[in-house]
Amino acid sequence: MNFNLSEEQLMIQQAARDFAQNELLPGVIERDTHQKFPTEQVKKMGEMGFMGMMVDPKYGGAGMDSIAYVLAIEEISKVDASAAVVMSVNNSLVCAGIEKFCNEEQKQKYLVPLATGEAIGAFALSEPEAGSDATSQSTTAVDMGDHYMLNGTKNWITNGGTAKYYVVIAQTDVEKKHKGINAFIVERDWDGFEIGPKEDKLGIRGSDTHSLLFTDVKVPKENRIGEDGFGFSFAMAVLNGGRIGIASQALGIASGAYELALKYAQVRKAFKKEIIHHQAIAFKLADMHVNIMAARLLCYKAAVEKDEGKDISESGAMAKLYSSQVAMDTTIEAVQIHGGYGYVKEYHVERMMRDAKITQIYEGTSEIQKIVISRSITNK
Ligand code: CAA
Ligand code: FAD
């Protein structure tokens, strides 16, 4: 596998790095403190082509490959993991699913505004009683002939309060279990669709997480994605790619914390020498460096396999499982290296530690990734 970056990929990486430093860094602590969504910054990300990075230019996308996507998410997550999840959901869960599985009419209507960043998308699978156990959907979409009647509640939906279009998963035929599930594109202003209050979170506080309530929402038949009963396969296929985005987010959080810890260790003195010259600190940095590289290689491998059209359920899960652990371990040690300074907001690493935790929970917990990986190796 060749991991030499092309000129175009290096250009994207640099553009994302500059954007993160110039546009995201200045307000990141304030957005975290006040749970403020990065509205202006997301608008600029749209203008830069970051909201539909892998979408075909004929639908308004940037037409990049998955490695470029990993690079951009890593750079943005180094500075602001909240902005990164807005981007990841829009790219991997919403745009990718619509581009791969929707018909031309649906693409023209929904993909074009989503890929250009004119509209933000959300992906609604989880429910109050169905998170990991995603086939136990209680939200129902009853077939009424020319439309479906949607009822139920979705929980924890990223971009929930800011999205214009929502990909919603619901049960149509309970007898058929997961084969009776459908996916729909639902518009924000449809009657009966209500957005619940914003969640007050530990981390990724700049992102916008809400429950969604559907009461007799009429969803036109033409808004169903794929054939009747395709919804669960659709969700799983989309999540396989999404997990590369979250793995890259975790990688970025880890590498951002590592860079700050390295710089700090080179200047902070204790016992008459820079703390990097205390082996206990140098070894922590060595461990971080190795783990981050291993995580990066797993992300690249999954990205390359995705672009080759391979089944990425295992490689995506491996990248997410490992990178999220590295994000957690690295940020905890980055706080430790900063001593008391690591415990206050000004030095960023405490936020990174809080942000890291979610990468072990959403888009499938670490335990779920192990289920996916163990089933995959058992079936080989
Ligand atoms: N890729 C493709 N298909 C898959 C799949 C995968 N990774 N995992 C399961 N499937 C398919 C199976 O092949 C099976 O299909 P068939 O019956 O046609 O063979 C079907 O899905 C059901 O699979 P299982 O019998 O294995 O179902 P299960 O109930 O035992 O477990 C699960 C399935 C893997 C645990 C699944 O429910 C799962 O992934 N849960 C986690 C849900 C999740 O990731 N939610 C994320 C929400 S989005 C989000 O979080 C966004 C964000 O934060 C930003
Ligand atoms: P549960 O499924 O109840 O799990 C609780 C614990 O039990 C976990 O440790 C889990 O790993 C473990 N567990 C469960 N089943 C097993 C098993 N079979 N074997 C071993 N251990 C198991 N969802 C969306 O659909 N769209 C979004 O945009 C979205 N964004 C999110 C943003 C945030 C900030 C958060 C917190 C969540 C978001 N989610 C979203 C939901 C997220 O995907 C779920 O929280 C996650 O899948 C876990 O589900 P749960 O919270 O119901 O936990």
Which three-class secondary structure state does DSSP give residue 14?
A: helix
pLDDT for the residue numbered 3: 76
Residue 51 contacts residue 121 (beta carbons within 8 Å): no
Report whether residue 123 contacts ligand 2, using a CB cutoff of 6 Å: yes
Point out the ligand 1 atom lying closest to the alpha carbon of residue 246: 54
DSSP state of 220: E
Question: How many helical (H) and strand (E) elements, i.e. helices and strands, does the chain have?
Answer: 13, 9
Ligand 1: centre distance to CA 183 (Å): 14
Give per-residue pLDDT as tens, 310-361: 999 999 999 999 999 999 999 999 999 999 999 999 999 999 999 999 999 9
pLDDT for the residue numbered 273: 98
DSSP state of 35: T
pTM tops 0.95: yes
- CA 99/CA 167 separation, integer angstroms: 13
Burial of residue 189 (CB within 10 Å: 0-12, 13-18, 19+) is: exposed
Residue nearest (by alpha carbon) to ligand 1 atom 37: 134
Ligand 2: centre distance to CA 39 (Å): 27
CA-nearest of 175, 205, 216 to 81 is: 205
Question: Which segments in the chain show pLDDT lower than 70?
Answer: none
Q: What type of residue sits at position 114?
A: L
Ligand 2: centre distance to CA 130 (Å): 8
Residue nearest (by alpha carbon) to ligand 1 atom 19: 233
Give per-residue pLDDT as tens, 105-147: 999 999 999 999 999 999 999 999 999 999 999 999 999 999 9
Residue 266 is encoded by which pair of tokens? Answer: 């080179």
Residue nearest (by alpha carbon) to ligand 1 atom 7: 313
Residues involved in catalysis: 363
ipTM of model: 0.98
Give the number of other CB atoms < 10 A from CB of residue 380.
5
CA-nearest of 257, 236, 228 to 323 is: 257
Give the number of other CB atoms < 10 A from CB of residue 237.
18
The ligand with the least distance to the CA atom of 154 is: 2
Residue nearest (by alpha carbon) to ligand 2 atom 33: 156
CA-nearest of 158, 159, 2, 123 to 65 is: 2
Which one of 137, 360, 362, 372 would you pick to mutate in the ligand 2 pocket, going by the greatest count of ligand atoms within 8 A of its CB? Answer: 362
DSSP state of 110: I
Report whether residue 92 contacts ligand 2, using a CB cutoff of 6 Å: no
